[in-house]
A and B are shown apart, each in its own frame.
Chain A
Amino acid sequence: MVTTLLSLWIGAQAQLISIQELLNQSKVFDQQTVIIEAEVILEVLERGEMAWLNVNDGSNAIGVYLPIEMTEEIDSFGDHQNQGDRVRVEAIFYRNCPEHGGEMDLHAKSISIIEEGFTIERPISTWKFSFAIVGFTLSMFSLWMYRMYRKRVRKASEHI
């Protein structure tokens, strides 16, 4: 009863929520309109006239199903080299989506970019470079030493 009343109240006003909270209270938010703000990850998965966006807000990640034209403005996608566009998505949340084989997902009603993505600057670490050079030198030296040792042992056993 309480869950039903809560769902009705929530349905009346879409609210900004984290993905983790959505998952934790999936029964309450089932088939309600919610708003999330999250980073777009990797790339748009195009499926004809529709598409999937995977978004991660730091608390968790979820898939957003939307018409492909809604994805046209998204330029930057999150990976190691890039911070993806941060988007605000108003969507209907499905706890067990009947269209997608029971998947927990969001069907977008609107999407807007609130923060543009960018290339992440990752300066070369000088200490890593130094250690790598030293390590490589030492390992090659130890390999050479091992070869010399094996030659000595082989010669010694031939004499015997």
Chain B
Amino acid sequence: MSGFFSVAYYTGTIIFGFSALFLLPMMIALYYVDLNSLFDFSISMSLTMMLGIGMIMYGHKRLDTKESLSWRHGLMVASFTWILLTLLSAIPYRLSGYSLSYLDAMFDVMSGFTTTGLFLIQDLDHIPQALNFWRHLLTFVGGQGMIVLAISFFVKEMGSAYKFYVGEGKDISLVPNVRGTAQWIWKISFVYMFIGTLLLWVQGLRIGLNPINAFFHGLYIFQAAWSTGGFAPNYQNILFYHDFGYELVGLVFFIIGSFNFGLHYALIQGKKQEFRHNIEIVSFFVSSFLLSALAVVYLKNAGIYQDAVSMFRRVVYNVLSAHTTTGFGTVYAQQFVQDWGALGITIMVVAMLIGGSACSTAGGIKGLRVGIIIKGIFADINRLIKGDKTMRVVKYHHIKEHVLDDASFRSATSIAVLYLITFTIGLILTSFAGYALSDAAFEVASVAGNVGLSIGITSALMPDYLKLTYIVIMYLGRLEFISVFVLIGMFVKGVYKWLRRY
């Protein structure tokens, strides 16, 4: 039971604070005089608030027991909060009637929180504006991190806060204290949100949207791009706008959204050389160039696209969307199957699994780990070739200089292996449902890397076990496994102890 009260208290605090977010879609519902949506979000907010308060009051007992929060409990707070918030944020979806089941609603929420972008919601072109706002808000908040949001505003104890922060898959420190770091993450995001929404609003007006639609679409597309989420307000995704300029603005923001927040902070401090030396940026540009070039050559030879503009808009754009784990698609799902073929699909799978930068809004194995693994392998080969008996220190640059030692190599490799194991399990379970192996590989890579591009498997008609599997994979991928494993381990231990008592 030790730490249990602390977990309850901090989880409750975060949930209570989160309940305030429901006010935003309620305002949208009021604006559009959509009373049913207003009630949906009001009910959800009330339930969330009451649960949060209940957990805080229950967990307040920790003050009597003088418990201190250990690392494992910090990680449990992060992973447990995500589960509860997924359950609670799904309520408006289900109440709206546009999700066919609660499982479908949870799928969409987890997809939003993890900035994946796959969806099961029905009739997207007719959903309430408040619900559309909520979808994109979840992806924006999820991209930055619910724990990051909580630390910025609600959680005051710094020691505990850092443990939750790490549990959410982040470990970068922009400033010495974690609250300052969390607040900087939000400051950076809000500044970009202002600029991005303005640019997309202007572009939206240029392409024919009325001012209100241009504003909301600009806001939604920015939120989805910056968070590398990939949601869009209409069914056709980014194809809805039929405009290269609109796609380009989205592209710029999803690329910079996939960069490490530490890099953004370094640029604010005037350290422009970080762009050239950072191992993640170098590995991103190398891998995205190679994958894009390979896809372009292949599809040109296959006669699918002939001119440079088509190549950029239909090929390079989608490779970059996959690599940054955004999920904006400028081709239909059927085109991946019909036109891109096995090699094209493989390129996309590799891009999706590599993913974006660590401590960004992106998913996947992460460029930092890929860079460390490749650099580590080259260092080993080099050592063997040269037959050096002296210790040669290998370094890499990520915000600052780091030594590439066994611990960092092992850490990078462990997460990469966990991703690949998760991918394999997802692949087997998807194939088991009767889908072709290449299609399954594409879809599972998209789920595991929190990308959101679909080859057509994700739909309300897919088996429930597969929806649940994808929810778990999205969750594992976003929190990068460890905090989830700690939660599962503690749960199993708790059940075992309870069973032993009887």
Contacts and interface: CB of A to CB of B under 8 A. Distances in A.
B310 A101 contact: yes
A23 to B, nearest CB: 5
Given A26-B335, A54-B236, A139 B208 contact: no
Contacts of B46: 132, 135-136, 138-139
Nearest to A123: B36
A101 B56 contact: no
Interface string B52-70: 0110110010010000000
B208 A80 contact: no
B244 A101 contact: yes
Contacts of B331: 104
Interface stretch (B101-109, B126-134, B389-397, B482-490): B126-134
A143 B53 contact: yes
B40 interface: yes
A100 interface: yes
A63 B213 contact: no
Interface in A67-89: 78-81
B274 interface: no
A102 B314 contact: yes
Contacts of B38: 132
B241 A45 contact: yes
A24 B330 CA distance: 16
A26 B310 CA distance: 17
B313 interface: yes
Q: Is the interface on chain A under 10, 10 to 19, 20 to 34, or 35 or more residues?
A: 35 or more
A133 B445 CA distance: 44
Given A47-B208, A61-B236, A101-B313, A23 B334 contact: yes
B307 interface: yes
A27 B63 contact: no
A111 interface: no
Interface of B is mostly: helix
Contact of A61 (B50, B129, B210, B234): B234
A16 interface: no
Contacts of A129: 35, 39
B39 A128 contact: yes
Interface string B311-324: 11110000000000
A142 B53 CA distance: 7
Contacts of A46: 208
Contact of B330 (A103, A132, A136): A103
Contacts of B306: 98
Interface string B216-243: 0000000000000000001110011110
Given A96-B304, A122-B36, A42 B234 contact: yes
B40 to A, nearest CB: 7
Contacts of B50: 135, 138-139, 142
A149 interface: yes
B307 A153 contact: no
A103 B242 contact: yes
B415 interface: no
Contacts of A135: 42-43, 45-47, 50
A102 B340 CA distance: 14
Interface string B106-131: 00000000000000000001111100
A68 to B, nearest CB: 10
Interface in B468-483: none
Contacts of B236: 54, 61-63
Contact of A128 (B36, B312, B338): B36
A131 B40 CA distance: 9
A45 B338 contact: no
B239 A103 contact: yes
B36 A146 contact: no
Interface string B438-470: 000000000000000000000000000000000
A75 B193 CA distance: 34
B95 interface: yes
A80 B129 contact: yes
B305 A102 contact: yes
Contacts of A103: 239, 242, 313-314, 330
B437 interface: no
A79 B240 CA distance: 14
A43 B42 contact: no
Q: Which of B40, B125, B129, B241 has the most CB of A within 10 A?
A: B125
B125 A26 contact: no
Interface in A42-70: 42-47, 51-52, 54, 56, 60-63, 65
A79 B57 CA distance: 43
A146 B53 contact: yes
Interface in B17-44: 32, 34-36, 38-40, 42-43
Contacts of A61: 125, 234-236, 240
A77 to B, nearest CB: 10
A43 B309 contact: no
A37 interface: no
A19 to B, nearest CB: 10
B421 interface: no
A62 B34 CA distance: 28
Nearest to A126: B39
B310 A132 contact: no
A138 B49 CA distance: 10
A105 interface: yes
Nearest to A48: B208
Contact of A139 (B45, B127, B209, B241): B45
Nearest to B207: A45
Interface string B125-160: 111110000000000000000000000000000000
6 contacts: A23-B335, A47-B207, A81-B32, A128-B39, A132-B43, A135-B45
Interface of B: 32, 34-36, 38-40, 42-43, 45-47, 49-50, 53-54, 56-57, 60, 63, 95, 125-129, 207-210, 213, 234-236, 239-242, 244, 304-307, 309-314, 330-332, 334-335, 338
